[in-house]
Amino acid sequence: MARISLDNPAYYINRESSWLEFNRRVLEEASAPENPLLERLKFLAITASNLDEFFEVRVAGLVQQIEDGYTEAGPDGLTLLEERDLLARNTHEFVRDQYSCWNESLRSQLHENGVRVLGLHELDDRGRAFVEEYSERELDLLLTPVTVDPAHPFPRVINKALSVAFLLRRRRRSSVTYTGVVTVPRALPRLVRLPSDDTDDFIFLADLVAHHASRMYHGYDLVSSAAFRVTRNSNLYLAEEESRNLLESVRTELHNRRKGDAVRLEIEADADPEIIERLRTNFGLDQWQVFPVNGPVNLSRLFDIYQQSARPDLKFKACVPRELRLTGKSQDLFEELRRHDVLLHHPYDSYDAVVSFIESAAKDPRVLSIKQTLYRTNEQSLIVPALIAAAERKEVTAVVELKARFDEASNIRWARDLEDAGVQVFHGLVGLKTHCKLSLLVRRDPDGVIRRYAHLGTGNYNASTARLYTDLSLLTASAAITSAVHDVFSFLTAYAEHSSYEPLMVAPLDLAEGCLAMINREAEHAARGKPGRIIAKMNALLDKNIIMALYRASQAGVEIDLIVRGMCALRPGVRGVSDRIRVRSIVGRFLEHSRIFYFGNGGEEEIYLSSADWMPRNLYERVEVMFPLTNPMLRERVKREMLDAYLADNVKTRVLLKDGSYIPAWRAGGKRKPPMPGERFSAQDFLIAVAEGKRIPEPIPESPRLSARRRSRIERKT
């Protein structure tokens, strides 16, 4: 039998296409009738926000590489030009589907339920009077009309700023048309709430700007108008080695980001072709970069309706997180941690325990020092003020990542506030982002012994997103783990490398090597006739070395289940390559953000949690930490309560086929109809019920081998 080359591009799915498939799964949630109506609207807004970032970063980077003359193909074998053409087709199709969801489903259903987005022609007398008064009182004062002519160049339209373009004709010289541009003020809400007694009514601010154009352009006839929006390259290009002050360099690049090269033009579909062509030429865009949209420009602003509508009947029932209950008589968290580790599963377990861990350390006179990493945190963070307060009485060190994409400005503010308070602030290592989630306390306990306590997490120190993202937190006093965390901080602040960080694995030093070793170990177990088993949950799987190791493990007989929320370049179910690998994705009311890695290890099970996905940037370009669960009870909880639940889900799960498409789990299971109410099992609903203390059936995952056979049948049919 000829040896199979695992370098074959046919075994790899294109990264960007895989991302678009993920966003399509989010769009499916916007169309899912079982979701509450306003939640569906929120999902639609999320798809638009996701697509914005995709163009700002991924598409912008691709266009830049093409312009710079790069020719190297990716693992999937596509050239950059082929990839660009593929994305052009897929993104235009996706945008059409977004607006179809809005126009053909959501808008009318919202209207029927008393949440109305109205046009000017639909306003009653009360609405028209309000619009006139609102425009005179607030809108008109902020508008700056521009007419493009030799004395007035085209205005600089900043990234994602909504604007309205006009075709104008002077009344005295009617043969010439001019371009007019008005930027819609960012200081005002994009959706203006209208007065109403029994409905939630809104109108788009852009409609008001276009309607009042005659007030701005005296002496002109308005030929036509169209709202538009430009997306620009938002990548940061820093020469860190040449930078004397990273903070100032990032601040400067943030300013430049608002003026990056244009990569996309969104414009109303019924716009005059002359307006479209003038804008396209002005922004230097190719035809494929122009997106005519059949509805409001920038669907992400529909999230405003979700926020402003007090309609609990149209939203998910609130999830009340479980509070941490201490078992000791003293109700002291540190005493609890000296007895056993604490594992928290957010948002089902309250994030307050993590905040309290840091806040109490700031107030506790026994705590001598605090070390903290900060990648993304919320504007109303309680953690940063706690660190500032602690700096008055103890040693506080903060490693603040200034290059956390789209959070750079807030991180700069936090860094300056912390420095002003006396906190030792570091910005990580040159060329590496600090993405690990670590907090380390040094405390003199009542028995006089100085001990270390640590928090290690899979998600950011952000109480807001902790209510929306699934993540895991480990609180521990383990001497081995806290000592290793201390060494990681030494690496971050002094670039002091240690020969080992056991029991942790640290990127970019040994995390990739450690993961490959554990995958290969499972293959060796299987080759010797022992059961080989891997279950890995993450946000993305793109690293070719990891994928090739998984392929080899599958060939050796290892049963592998991958729960990958977003991008996945691995192609499952390929005969002789990945027969034993199954990939599923879950998109639900909570963003699946936790990273969990289970290895059967010949019966000596190991479970690791991590801040890192199996992506090149996580493994080689960031400081990440992977940490073990050493407590058998915690390992059992993660395996039975979490991983088994995700593998049993037949409601929100989508299964990846070898052609790169996804189908509902019930179809992969060989059924012709969705599961009946008594057969339905949603992992997220199950975990909510567990947090609420309800007695419900345990999840029962399908047999891996049976699932593989069923999937093979369904793929032959499709």
Preceding omega of 347 cis (within 30 degrees of 0): yes
For residue 618, the Cα-to-chain-centroid distance in whole angstroms is 15
223 shares its domain with 297 = yes
Reported as a single tens digit per residue, the pLDDT across 454-489 is 999 999 999 889 999 999 999 999 999 999 999 999
> To the nearest 5 percent, what fractions of the chain are helix, strand and coil?
40, 20, 35
39 shares its domain with 162 = yes
30 shares its domain with 158 = yes
- Residue 417 clears pLDDT 90, i.e. is over it: no
Q: How many structural domains does the chain have?
A: 3
Identify the pLDDT of residue 410.
Answer: 65
Contact call for residues 630 and 503 (beta carbons, < 8 A)? yes
**Three-class secondary structure of residue 162 per DSSP:** strand
Secondary structure element (H or E) that encloses residue 485, with its range: helix 479-494
Residue 323 lies in a domain: no
CA-based nearest residue to 586, from 659, 675, 681: 681
Identify the pLDDT of residue 705.
Answer: 62
Give residue 718's pLDDT band: very low, low, confident or very high (50, 70, 90).
Answer: very low
- Residue 266 clears pLDDT 50, i.e. is over it: yes
CA-based nearest residue to 481, from 387, 608, 384, 594: 608
Identify the pLDDT of residue 381.
Answer: 79
Indicate the Cα dihedral angle 373, 376, 382, 388, nearest 10°: 50
Identify the pLDDT of residue 1.
Answer: 42
Residue 627 lies in a domain: yes
Identify the pLDDT of residue 253.
Answer: 52
CA-based nearest residue to 341, from 442, 479, 191: 479
Tell me the residue range of the domain where 584 lies. 506-717
Give residue 689's pLDDT band: very low, low, confident or very high (50, 70, 90).
Answer: very high
DSSP letters of 328-350?
A: STT--HHHHHHH--EEEEETTB-
Residue 709 lies in a domain: yes
**Three-class secondary structure of residue 427 per DSSP:** coil
**Average per-residue pLDDT for the chain:** 90
Reported as a single tens digit per residue, the pLDDT across 397-407 is 999 887 655 55
Q: Which long-range contacts link 203-206 to residues 24+ away (Cβ below 8 Å)? A: 203/117, 203/118, 203/119, 203/120, 203/123, 203/127, 203/131, 204/117, 204/296, 205/139, 205/162, 206/162, 206/164, 206/296, 206/297
Instruction: Give backbone dihedrals phi and psi of 187, rounded to 5 degrees, phi first.
Output: -75, -15
Residue 452 lies in a domain: yes
123 shares its domain with 53 = yes
Least confident of 72-86, 89-103, 256-270, 572-586: 256-270
DSSP letters of 171-209?
A: SSSTT-EEEEEEEPPTTS-SEEEEP-SSSEEEEEHHHHH
240 shares its domain with 222 = yes
485 shares its domain with 594 = no
Identify the pLDDT of residue 712.
Answer: 54
490 shares its domain with 542 = no
Instruction: Give backbone dihedrals phi and psi of 169, rounded to 5 degrees, phi first.
Output: -135, 125
Residue 167 CA: distances (Å) to CA of 226, 271, 586, 692, 703: 9, 10, 47, 59, 64
Give residue 619's pLDDT band: very low, low, confident or very high (50, 70, 90).
Answer: very high
588 shares its domain with 710 = yes
According to DSSP, the residues that pair with 200 across neighbouring strands are 115
Which of 345, 346, 427, 435 is the catalytic position? 435
456 shares its domain with 575 = no
% the chain with pLDDT above 70: 93
Of 463, 498, 533, the domain-final residue:
498
DSSP letters of 655-695?
A: EEPTTS-EEEHHHHTT-SSPPPGGG---HHHHHHHHHTT--
Of 498, 519, 544, the domain-final residue:
498
- Residue 5 clears pLDDT 60, i.e. is over it: yes
Residue 2 lies in a domain: no
Reported as a single tens digit per residue, the pLDDT across 8-17 is 999 999 999 9
Asked if 498 is an active-site residue, the reply is: no
CATH number at residue 549: 3.30.870.10
Report DSSP state, residue 500: -
Give residue 214's pLDDT band: very low, low, confident or very high (50, 70, 90).
Answer: confident
- Residue 685 clears pLDDT 90, i.e. is over it: yes
Estimate the crossing angle of helix 383-390 against helix 408-420, to 10 degrees: 20
d(CA 624, CA 508): 7
543 shares its domain with 493 = no
- Residue 607 clears pLDDT 60, i.e. is over it: yes
CA-based nearest residue to 615, from 542, 550, 537: 542
Give residue 239's pLDDT band: very low, low, confident or very high (50, 70, 90).
Answer: very low
407 φ/ψ sector (left φ>0, alpha ψ -120 to 50, else beta): alpha
Residue 436 lies in a domain: yes
371 shares its domain with 284 = no
Of 478, 498, 518, the domain-final residue:
498
460 shares its domain with 519 = no
Q: In the chain, how many H helices and how many E strands?
A: 24, 27
CA angle 54, 56, 57 (to 5 degrees): 70
**Top-confidence residue, 466 or 411:** 466
Residue 322 lies in a domain: no
Residue 4 lies in a domain: no
- Residue 376 clears pLDDT 50, i.e. is over it: yes
